[in-house]
Amino acid sequence: MKKKLLAICLAGLMGIAALTGCSRSAAEETTPAESVQEPVTEAIVEETSGIKVIENAGEENDKTISVRIVDKNNPALPGRVPEKVRGIYISGPMAGSSGLFQEILDDMENTEINTVVIDLKNDEGRITCNIDSPIITEIGACKNYVQDIEALIKTLKDRGLYVIARVVAFRDPYLAEKKPEWSLHTANGNLYRDKQGMAWVDPYCKEVWDYLIEVGTVAREVGFDEVQFDYIRFSTDSTMKNVVFDEERTRGRSKTDVITEFCQYAYENLASQGLFVSADVFGTIIGSEIDANAVGQIYADMAKHLDYICPMVYPSHYGQGNFGLEYPDKQPYETILGAMQKSKVVLDKAADEDDHIHNQAIVRPWLQDFTASYLGEGKYITYGYEEVQKQIQAVLDAGYEEWMLWSAANRYHLHPAEETAAE
């Protein structure tokens, strides 16, 4: 890092958070609205990866604040050279199964795929490799699917692959059981569980935020290039009506307030370590205030505090009539095109309304590489090579360049690069 003196006026900037050694108390006490009132005079600046940490700021030169570095040619990733991701998801057990994973890697040769997204913290809340880190060790979160994660990542990078750590955030039944004081509860004091029996930790709980930052820091230490948060939201089950929130934690903040605040907190703490930071969101929240408020995800607001935003625009997730389609799952090209065009409209509108810094994450959608037979007869089609390529083409036709394929079973339909839509 380098230091230099700058005379900067930051009054009115958006997306600034007070920061004192990334301490939790400072983040709690200072909101973006408050911190933008602080003018900065002669300030020492430390430039890190995507974050500008400004010391000796404020009227009395007694503040330390951080702002995202902005570049008009690359607003989400200034100062860094991003990878144009075309990736697939790999589960912890698959990553630890050398023979099966090797087959997938061999199948990827001569295709467009240049990225793997590997579970580091999975849907059960387990860390998928052996890690020695304070809270992770205290609660015994490790389930050693991958025997040597550093060696695995090195092997992947030797193949020229970009490696992303998937970190499931607030649906964490393991942490909820080990730290019930950090979790959601019903009126009778029991842990809240969704319809699948999964307990959730409380997104308003700062201790949970710090645990997730700990996991992200571990991701950097073992060699991951990026941390991608999933389930960065509230449960969508109707059972959520039984949850009783602690007013001392919520402090009047809405679901959308706290999810956006977590994005900002995660970015400041992880991007400053050199990691890229991304988050998965429901595709259906784009342009839908009802869906956004239900899960706590406001698309454009979250995009201000991330390197990448990753909408899950699986055709199977859209109900009958969406985008004027009788059954969206049966029309993958039209569904993805409609979703990505809506993404562009929403983010362009947000940019037009922003009178200050234009901070927006790069959009990198998740596409469907599975067959949604659960939709019922006549409402779905079998997904294979053609259906995957139609989705990719729709992403490109909407003006985006990156995408990832999701298959929970890790079975993918990959064309040789010269045959893909991108060519």
Give the C-alpha separation, 298 to 302, whole Å.
Answer: 6
Look at residue 300 in the predicted model and tell me its pLDDT.
94
Instruction: In whole angstroms, give the CA distance from residue 97 to residue 75.
Output: 39
Over 90: is that where the pLDDT of 212 sits? yes
For residues 379-397, average pLDDT: 98
Lowest mean pLDDT of 3-12, 108-117, 169-178, 184-193, name the range. Answer: 3-12
Nearest alpha carbon to residue 135 among 198, 170, 178, 168: 178
Give 344: exposed, middle or buried? Use CB within 10 Å, 0-12, 13-18, 19+: middle
How confident is the model at residue 92, as a pLDDT? 98
Asked if 104 and 118 count as a contact pair (C-beta separation under 8 A), the reply is no
Q: In the predicted model, is pLDDT for residue 46 greater than 90?
A: no
Distance between CA 127 and CA 143 in Å, rounded? 6
Which fold does the domain 86-419 belong to in CATH?
Answer: TIM Barrel (3.20.20)
The answer, yes or no, to whether residue 286 has pLDDT greater than 70, is yes
Angstrom distance (rounded) from CA 136 to CA 357:
37
pLDDT for the residue numbered 353: 80
The total of other beta-carbon atoms located within 10 Å of residue 252's CB is: 6
pLDDT for res 311: 98
**23-32, 297-306, 413-422: segment of lowest average pLDDT:** 23-32
pLDDT tens figures, 53-106: 556 655 666 655 545 544 444 444 445 567 899 999 999 999 999 899 999 999
Averaged over 331-347, what is the pLDDT? 97
Question: Which SS3 state, helix, strand or coil, does residue 361 take?
Answer: coil
pTM for the model stands at 0.82
**pLDDT value, residue 45:** 43
Mapped onto helix, strand or coil, the DSSP state of residue 142 is strand
Token representation of residue 100 = 């099966």
**CA separation for the pair 397, 421 (Å, rounded):** 10
**What's the pLDDT score for residue 60?**
65
Residue 416: the pLDDT is 83
Pinpoint the residues of the chain covered by CATH 3.20.20.80: 86-419
Mean pLDDT for the stretch of residues 167-194: 97
Mean pLDDT of 329-343: 98
Q: Give the Cβ contact number of residue 358 at 10 Å.
A: 15
**Range in 19-23, 115-119, 362-366 the model is least confident about:** 19-23
74 compared with 7, residue with greater pLDDT = 74
CA distances from 65 to 28, 37, 40, 44 (A): 14, 12, 10, 11
> What's the mean pLDDT when you consider all of the chain?
84
